[in-house]
Amino acid sequence: MRIEILVFDGVDEMDVMGPFEVWSHASRRPEFELALVGLDGPASVTGLHGLEFKAPEGLGTPDALFVPGGGWMNRAERGSWAQRAVLAPRIAEVAPHTQWIGSVCTGSILLAEAGLVKGRPATTNRGAWHELETFGADVKHNRVVDDGDLVTAGGITAGIDLALHIVEREVSAEVADGIAATMEYARVRDVYRS
């Protein structure tokens, strides 16, 4: 399974790096391949808090696409809010060809802008629950919401829980627990499943 994490200027660093840490451990197994990707090719990214990093590839045709947030609730000049007009259509274009699409924090609002959450259980940062509801989502207040091919997580650190949940779902609980132990992370198993 190739997981691509879509990154962009103004992205929240923890939204990216938490799941990246989990899936980088998982990618040592043959079941997982992981890539940070820019929207239109390789990209140099400056995160919400100033961390600079590179996405060595562009968005392709992944088995799974993961969308972080950042800069949505404060309508920042950089981030998901500022780039929604270009991000959402590409997400909508890629989504039908994936096994699953996921998000953390306000990345789920980008999924909503792409038309992927209407009538479906989903979650986001608690500060954006109401906004997600306006897109017709059945908002759940769990850290992770698994609706099969749509998997969303609450605010920021909940992305780690989503990533571990995906490892457990796709491989095994033992592998996910082993990764959590390696990271010295206490799993939060607050998962709503459809």
* Cα–Cα distance, 11 to 132 (Å, whole number): 19
**Residue 60 exposed, middle or buried by CB count within 10 Å (0-12, 13-18, 19+):** exposed
Report CA 111 to chain centroid distance, whole Å.
10
105 a catalytic residue: yes
| Catalytic one of 3, 37, 94, 105 | 105
**Residue 77 exposed, middle or buried by CB count within 10 Å (0-12, 13-18, 19+):** exposed
- The domain total for the chain is 1
Q: Domain range holding 161?
A: 2-193
User: Whole-model pTM?
Assistant: 0.98
Contact by Cβ (8 Å): 109, 69: yes
Q: What would the pLDDT profile of 99-147 be if each residue is shown by its tens digit?
A: 999 999 999 999 999 999 999 999 999 999 999 999 999 999 999 999 9
What CATH number is associated with residue 14? 3.40.50.880
Q: How much is the pLDDT for 31?
A: 86
The string of DSSP codes covering 89-147 is: HHHHHHGGGSSEEEEETTHHHHHHHTT--TTSEE---GGGHHHHHHTT-EE--SSEEE-
Q: What would the pLDDT profile of 15-65 be if each residue is shown by its tens digit?
A: 999 999 999 999 999 989 999 999 999 999 999 999 999 999 999 999 999
Q: How much is the pLDDT for 156?
A: 94
Q: How much is the pLDDT for 131?
A: 98
